Amino acid sequence: METQAGDAVQQPEETKNSPTEQSLPPEEPIILKKLFPRAKQDLDALFPEPGMKKLLKDLVRTRQKNARFLKRVNLGEVEKEEEDEPAETP
């Protein structure tokens, strides 16, 4: 018996979901004390929701990436280029 091109072959639910579930590593708990060591309050108690903890962790990563980017940028060269350009007069 032949199947037509329009017929979809159905797979069991277990085979559809199992490869993606097995490939995800187990998540480590986010400890805000480690991310914000200078905080005077217990941030883990203030923000118990996992979504908020993830947002704060992303904030720390973004700050670190921005700091690394700014270190690579040589501001002396940028300011010198701005001074060298003549001012436009209308």
Domain that holds residue 47: 31-90
Whether 17 is covered by a domain: the verdict is no
CB of 32 closer than 8 Å to CB of 43: yes
In a domain, residue 23? The reply is no
Indicate the number of domains in the chain: 1
pLDDT tens, position by position, 33-67: 999 999 999 999 999 999 999 999 999 999 999 99
Determine, yes or no, domain membership for 49.
yes
Q: Is residue 14 part of a domain?
A: no
In a domain, 15, yes or no: no
Is residue 40 one of the residues assigned to a domain? Answer: yes
CB 33 within 8 A of CB 42: yes
Does residue 65 belong to any structural domain of this protein?
yes
Residue-wise pLDDT for 5-31, tens only, equals: 555 555 555 555 555 555 656 778 899
Collect all residues with Cβ–Cβ distance below 8 Å to 50 and sequence separation of at least 6: 30
55 or 86, higher pLDDT: 55
